[in-house]
Structure 1
Amino acid sequence: MSVLTRRMVSVAIAASAWSGTASAQDWPQRPVTIVVPFTAGGTTDMFGRIFAQAMQEKYGKPFLVENRAGAGGTVGAAAVSKALNDGHTLLVGTASTHAIAPCVYKRTGYDADADFQPISLFATLPNLLVVSPKLPIKTFAEFVEHVKANSGKLSYGSSGVGASNHLPGEMIQNLTGAKMTHVPYRSSNDIMNALAGGHIDLAFDNMTLAWPQAQGGTVRAIAVTSKERSPTAPDVPAIAETFPSFDVATWHGLFAPAGTPRPIVDQIAADVKRIYDTAEVKKKLYDVGAVPTPNTPDVFTAFAKTERTKYERIVKEAGLSPQ
């Protein structure tokens, strides 16, 4: 049976089961798998586990986080795109999986628009440009000067081609005319370890992990990739203060396979809002540079489409060709 046939059958089953006066009162009927398309311990994993723990406490059923890393998050996303659409398999999707990867990969294994039902955003956050303390760089101006003077000699880490911490490096090369070596890793933890160990020179990693490292002196914070400065680190400038067109903020949100019954989708979206609006979760995220932004399925759907259009332009300007 082909993937398309399986999808048609699962949609028909779901539609039959939830026809008429459909409600989500019988969901979940069994353990719910939350696929995180990156390794454990990173930013995406953190968002998934916050959600899973709170949902398990409410429903009394297991909510299991499954880390399926690889290819900038597309391996895990592709797996969820083919899962049964009954609300028992969900994906923590990101700007990488649903906005950037479709622009930089010829084949992702899924259609970011047609194969998923967006449920709600979790949060948005900038990436943080961090460098090895061994480099003679303390300001963004010094960074630009050093990159130009050492074209081809510096390396930067990311979670893979198409990841949100990969694209800023390509943009910097395009804006400065200098070359850097891209070194892909499986997770943000691996990137930070490599940077601390002197295996790479810099990274544009998620603020949630990179900022605590910068505060601890393991790495040095130089700039944020968002259009504006981060309230968490107001003294750290935005790259856009030097290059006005620079605006790369990442985001994390919850997706279900396309065709998941709307009553279930709406119920889960309401749960996301409940969880991410709590004072405890808000403080935890603000402390690491993330801004909780739960929304509705329709608003999230429109947001994801706008983000894909934005990154299509950025990828083209960066001179990246689909791989």
Structure 2
Amino acid sequence: MKLRAYLIAAASLACMAGAPATSLAKYPDRPITLIVPFTPGGTTDILARAVGDKLGKAWGQTVIIENVPGAGGIIGTEKAAQAKPDGYTLMMGHIGTLGVNPSLYAKKHIEPLKMFEPVAWVARVPNVLVVNPKKLPVHDLAGLIAYAKQHPGKIDFGSGGNGSAAHTATEYLMLKAGINMTHVPYRGTGPAVTDLIAGQNQLMFTGVPAVLGFIQSGQLRALAVSSTKRVAALPKVPTVAESGLPGLAGFQADQWYGIVAPAGTPHDIVAKLNTEINRIISAPEEQHHFEGQGAIPNPTTPEAFKAQIRSEIARWKEVVEKAHMAIN
């Protein structure tokens, strides 16, 4: 009897050991939901749809983009974190939701590295400083800073919400340049850009993909990019550091975007997602597409993406504190 009981137990353990491989072999066998914690039209949404489309075609399953805006990305973030950790609900996170919000909303105890499994670091996206040329009579960064110093608090800058990438980058620029402008938060980058073009606000410092078409059409004027090198899609636009202005040497405030899964998602599923997403963004045609939109593909491991999130949480905590951005 003891031998029989042992054999039954051993068989059960063998089945359990084989379960992950079986689930991995079948994954995905139904649609995947990719949550975007902002409204359509922003860089997060643009990149999510680009990756989701290719992922869906590669695996023969629909990738549903679900926009869940509100509270600077917190509503969508919490929904994604609370989803079943089975690989069928993912989130396109970014510098704001994964790096800034833990400090910005400290009382909400947002802990990305406890809430999520980092899956794939999709891209770095330089910000571009744009103005409505009909509302702000400046042609370069030096002119903007001079104008802002002459009119403290009189320039309204839009963003996708408190703690969004655009908000954080602009606060960082103001700290470094010693200027003061007024923040106008929106429920997403798309609405903020729409109002910028309409003249309801005057300036934005946001991801290149969200405004590239409007720069090319002349509706917006680009003054500078946040990266350490010029952007291929905007070769004539200088970097902030190239201005040579006091406090701006070495300036860098790029956005970054990556896919995460709810904590507890099986490691084999995370690895499969990482491999496929890296393959997608490494393909020459996709690299060309990303770079044409002002994004830089960044294929790497889940561990490297995790390290990036950890370092950015520490970096932006200092900016949030110095700029008094924290929201109670």
TM-score norm. by structure 1 comes to: 0.89
Q: Please name the residue that 2:215 is paired with.
A: 214
| Paired amino acid for 1:84 | K
| Paired amino acid for 2:20 | A
Task: Give runs of aligned pairs for residues 246-285 of structure 1, distance below 5 A.
Answer: 246-285=251-290
Task: Give runs of aligned pairs for residues 66-215 of structure 1, distance below 5 A.
Answer: 66-108=66-108, 110-134=110-134, 135-215=136-216
Return 5+ residue gaps in structure 1 as ranges.
Answer: 1-15
Deviation per CA, 1:99-121, whole angstroms, max 9, x where unpaired? 01111112446421111000011
Q: Tell me, what secondary structure is at the counterpart of 1:166?
A: helix
| Paired amino acid for 1:130 | V
RMSD of equivalent CA atoms: 1.9
> How far apart are the structure 1 equivalents of 2:232 and 2:29?
41
Q: Tell me, what secondary structure is at the counterpart of 1:72?
A: helix
C-alpha contact 2:38 2:44 (8 A) present in aligned 1 = yes
> How far apart are the structure 2 equivalents of 1:302 and 1:133?
40
Q: Please name the residue that 2:314 is paired with.
A: 309
Distance change (3 Å), C-alpha of 1:174 and 1:92: same
Q: Please name the residue that 2:44 is paired with.
A: 44
> How far apart are the structure 2 equivalents of 1:54 and 1:117?
22
C-alpha contact 2:101 2:110 (8 A) present in aligned 1 = no
Deviation per CA, 1:2-22, whole angstroms, max 9, x where unpaired? xxxxxxxxxxxxxx9974473
> How far apart are the structure 1 equivalents of 2:158 and 2:252?
19
Shift of 1:58: 2.4
| Paired amino acid for 1:287 | G
> How far apart are the structure 1 equivalents of 2:241 and 2:264?
40
> How far apart are the structure 2 equivalents of 1:283 and 1:90?
25
C-alpha contact 1:95 1:251 (8 A) present in aligned 2 = yes
> How far apart are the structure 2 equivalents of 1:97 and 1:111?
10
Q: Please name the residue that 1:10 is paired with.
A: none
Shift of 1:178: 3.4
> How far apart are the structure 1 equivalents of 2:295 and 2:76?
23
Q: Please name the residue that 2:20 is paired with.
A: 22
> How far apart are the structure 1 equivalents of 2:61 and 2:212?
35
Q: Percent identity?
A: 34
C-alpha contact 1:211 1:221 (8 A) present in aligned 2 = no
The answer to whether residue 298 in structure 2 is matched with residue 293 in structure 1 is yes
Structure with more helix by fraction: 2
C-alpha contact 2:28 2:88 (8 A) present in aligned 1 = yes
Q: Tell me, what secondary structure is at the counterpart of 1:254?
A: strand
Return 5+ residue gaps in structure 2 as ranges.
Answer: 1-13
